[in-house]
Amino acid sequence: MLDVGQGDALFIESPTGNQVLIDGGPPRKILTELSKVMSPFDRQIDAFIISNPDQDHIGGFLDVLKTYEVKEVFEPGTLTDSKVYQNLKNELKEKNIPSILAKKGMKLDLGGGVLIEVLFPDRDVSAFATNDGSLVARLSYRNFSIMLTGDSTIKTEKIILENNSISKLKSTVLKVGHHGSRTSSSEDFVKAISPLYSLISDGKDNKYGHPHQNTLDTLSLFNSKILRTDLLGTIFIKCAKINECEIN
């Protein structure tokens, strides 16, 4: 989880070297962070995943496209008329980068046993608010898993709970929705995930007051260890040994 201030950006690299960037944070933040986790000679990223098209999730993608070759993009299908989103769409078109609509059941095999499975959208979300229509997916690797939530709201969580078994949802780590806002992370959802760790991407002293105390209380209720970028900076999860992952 890259420290991009008030936004989301998660960099994933599989044992076979495939690389995915889930969200790009706000503008002018991501390149410095990527340089800390990628070789200076590596100028290719296999895929972008857009959880939602708000600026704090996609603004950095425009910066990345100036430096890195990107093979494909996955997005949920929510729409916005913001200038940054239109600029991104135009840049993808100009560079002939395919944009794929993510749907429930879609699986991205990153190699080496790393799998990302889309849980939401399970319907057309073009008329949804961008947060309500956030792409939600679960990354799994051996006995380790991460629930990836974007800015998904309690409304989204309810849909996911109604349409998935607990075994499909339980995860080692929860990427906490919407930077720890009270609009996300309902008790029912957190209970289903039962995360040992909860990761929050937020900016130091941000104007929204994220993470909200309500959310921190809910996570603590289920004894989940909370890790925040505003307090810790970039958060690393390394799975270098069989059945053992290190988080710091």
Per-residue tokens: 103: 């749907």
pLDDT score for 98: 97
Phi, psi of 107 (to 5 degrees): -125, 130
SS3 238: strand
Domains (range + CATH), the chain: 10-247 (3.60.15.10)
Q: How confident is the model at residue 32 (pLDDT cuts 50, 70, 90)?
A: very high
pLDDT tens-digit series, residues 73-91: 999 999 999 999 999 999 9
pTM of the predicted model, to two decimals?
A: 0.95
pLDDT at 149 over 70: yes
CB of 203 closer than 8 Å to CB of 231: no
pLDDT score for 247: 87
Residues of the chain with pLDDT > 70: what percent?
99
CB of 148 closer than 8 Å to CB of 141: no
